[in-house]
A and B are shown apart, each in its own frame.
Chain A
């Protein structure tokens, strides 16, 4: 019971933080609840499929199938997060202004929710597939009663949902006109952390094996497998002893997103205030 509670809780928290950020970043978008729910549902389905075919996936690419798969979905999430931020750089300012004026009831129908729905799906899929494998393993041994297993799992999911709510309402405490700047910053760091994780998976799979030595070690300060360490790992990609390639990819992702958003913002010059007719 305790084991299943803990492992489910840990994985759900990690997915939950990302869902919380996505919800805050899409505040005011019509139909976002549907998109986010769709993302979660697709993620759960995907997690079950990935778990069911774990053996097949692992056997691909000369035994590096799992690593290639993990890296691919992470990089897809990085691309979607980048797309979201770039899109917001072009359109976000007008939206923030509207929200400030009219409150939360503003929606921008053409806003792409697909990108962030994919991110939600991937987050749920990655964390969920581990939960499924784990629970399936326990269930097949028959050492734990089904009730205890389900109870632990349900409690874990509930705990994770609470973390999602905390993240979401915490972000909503940010003043409306600053909200999208804050979520854009969070999404940039989220993407950088995912990209750094992706390169690590590729290296585990035997690819891109350069700069593999540890650059620094801050495990004396904050261990990555502590609760705070795990939260920061999910949110900003905290790593207590990154290797050179990870640091490089992390920095490159931030630079790329900042550059792309600058370019996009320049293409959409700040709208002048309504001209006063003299």
Chain B
């Protein structure tokens, strides 16, 4: 009984606790509603993280249907965007609130 409880707790902890990412986050800056760098390279088929630094005063939503990410980063704050393991390819993303200028692409290779 105790053993079962330990196993369940262990599995739960494994599932719930934040996983430690293999690679350090890739820095991405938003300023004047433009992303720098606008092209981000990640390893294909491996999880990756982007650390978005919003240097504008207004909120922005990192939005990508291809990456399945919607992440609001308030003005002057930073936010982690976690990417699933991606097959090789190009994945567009944008700042939804300023989609005419805030554009970028993740290249998995």
Contact = CB atoms under 8 A, between A and B. Distances in A.
B74 to A, nearest CB: 4
Contact of A204 (B82, B96, B97): B82
A278 B54 CA distance: 81
Nearest to B74: A55
Contact of A208 (B16, B45, B97): B16
B41 interface: no
B74 A212 contact: no
B50 to A, nearest CB: 11
B97 A243 contact: no
Contacts of B96: 7, 130, 134
Interface string B8-20: 0000000111110
A137 B58 contact: yes
A208 B15 contact: yes
Contacts of A213: 45, 84-85
Interface stretch (A58-66, A174-182, A264-272): A58-66
A210 to B, nearest CB: 6
B79 interface: yes
A58 B15 contact: no
Nearest to B17: A207
Interface residues of B, number: 36
A137 B81 CA distance: 21
Interface in B79-109: 79-82, 84-85, 87, 96-100
A214 to B, nearest CB: 7
Contacts of B57: 140
B37 interface: no
A14 interface: no
Given A62-B18, A66-B71, 4 more contacts: A206-B80, A208-B16, A213-B85, A240-B65
9 contacts: A3-B100, A58-B74, A63-B80, A134-B96, A140-B58, A204-B71, A207-B18, A209-B82, A213-B85
